[in-house]
Amino acid sequence: MSEVAYERVQMNLERLRLTRIGDHLDGIAEEAARHEWTYLQFLDQLLEAEVAARYERDVAMKTKLAHFPFVKVLEQFDFAFQPSINERQVRELATLRFIAQAENVLLLGPPGVGKTHLAIALGVAAVAQATSVYFTSIADLLEVIHRDAKEDRLAHRLHTLCKPKLLILDEMGYFPLDRLAAQFLFQLVSRRYLKGSIILTSNKSYGEWGDIFTDQVLAAAILDRLLHHSVTLNIRGQSYRLREKRKAGVFTDFAEPEKEDQPV
């Protein structure tokens, strides 16, 4: 290729923002010559490189936007430790069909049984397929919406939280929600209903949701929409965190989780 043509190609690749092709043009062209690729094979390799690079960038960006507090994957989860979890059901969820069908996943159980781990692992799997995810704890969300309420930005927040295909709401139930929070959650769940998935984790059984929301009617309305197209995993077992401590000799025996922490 003449110098002029080469420079024009590089310039046009830059203009079209085909940066990966620009970076790898020389290498791929040499390989093409060595293996006597057809023109079509050559073009195919260039485009594959560019598409792969864009996908990587997309996943990196979505990982950032997801706000995971830490990264956990399913491979790190010891199913043998938590026999109340149906491994096949979790693996089915990891296919992410539930997101395509805008279904919700509710992970219930006492502290330390792996609810957040599983929620993040499903979120990480979704991001790896370039699906948009947003993770927030209920505590952080409450802080945000109270600030938003003062700044008259609640509608905007609602809009933003409806965008990701998967919204993870972690730790519902550790403290009661006031009326503003309950109404906001009702709107959020209603807006996302049949449109975008929610994974919600809670240490409270459904029967105890009235206590979280103080308003029984609102609690029932939220549950109604959340549960209509949903999968619930009721985890009943020992805390993995305490197991680590017990191994270290901090505990000699396990106390069973408090009765009120046990989901029905």
Cβ atoms within 10 Å of 217's Cβ, excluding its own: 9
Given a contact cutoff of 8 angstroms between Cβ atoms, the answer to whether 76 and 203 are in contact is: no
Q: How far apart are CA 92 and CA 140, in angstroms?
A: 30
Part of the chain binding ligand ADP (CB under 6 A), chosen from 23-31, 75-83, 147-155, 219-227: 75-83
Q: Could you give the string, one character per residue 70-109, with x where binding to Mg ion holds by CB under 5 A and - elsewhere?
A: ----------------------------------------
Q: How far apart are CA 66 and CA 170, in angstroms?
A: 13
Q: How far apart are CA 167 and CA 123, in angstroms?
A: 9
Residue (of 185, 262, 264, 263) closest to 225 by Cα position: 185
Tell which one of 13, 45, 112, 233 touches ligand ADP (CB under 6 A).
112
Smallest gap from residue 224 Cβ to Mg ion (A): 25
CA 201 to chain centre: 12
- When the beta carbons of 39 and 70 are compared against Mg ion, the nearer one is 70
Q: Which does 241 bind (CB under 5 to 8 A by kind): Mg ion, ligand ADP, none?
A: ligand ADP
Part of the chain binding ligand ADP (CB under 6 A), chosen from 88-96, 109-117, 144-152, 209-217: 109-117
CA 98 to chain centre: 12
Part of the chain binding ligand ADP (CB under 6 A), chosen from 22-30, 115-123, 150-158, 188-196: 115-123
58 lies in the site for ligand ADP, by CB under 6 A: no
Tell which one of 7, 26, 30, 78 touches ligand ADP (CB under 6 A).
78
Smallest gap from residue 182 Cβ to ligand ADP (A): 22
Q: How far apart are CA 102 and CA 88, in angstroms?
A: 20
113 lies in the site for ligand ADP, by CB under 6 A: yes
45 lies in the site for Mg ion, by CB under 5 A: no
Q: How far apart are CA 60 and CA 98, in angstroms?
A: 23
Q: How far apart are CA 103 and CA 97, in angstroms?
A: 9
Given a contact cutoff of 8 angstroms between Cβ atoms, the answer to whether 83 and 234 are in contact is: no
Q: Could you give the string, one character per residue 168-207, with x where binding to ligand ADP holds by CB under 6 A and - elsewhere?
A: ---------------------------------x------
Q: How far apart are CA 106 and CA 173, in angstroms?
A: 13
Tell which one of 45, 104, 116, 239 touches Mg ion (CB under 5 A).
116
Q: Which does 192 bind (CB under 5 to 8 A by kind): ligand ADP, Mg ion, none?
A: none
Look up tokens 């109604």; give the residue: 224
- When the beta carbons of 77 and 184 are compared against ligand ADP, the nearer one is 77
Identify the H or E element spanning 222.
helix 216-228
Judged by the rule CB under 5 A, the positions of this chain that interact with Mg ion are 115-116
Judged by the rule CB under 6 A, the positions of this chain that interact with ligand ADP are 72, 76-78, 81-82, 109, 111-117, 201, 240-241
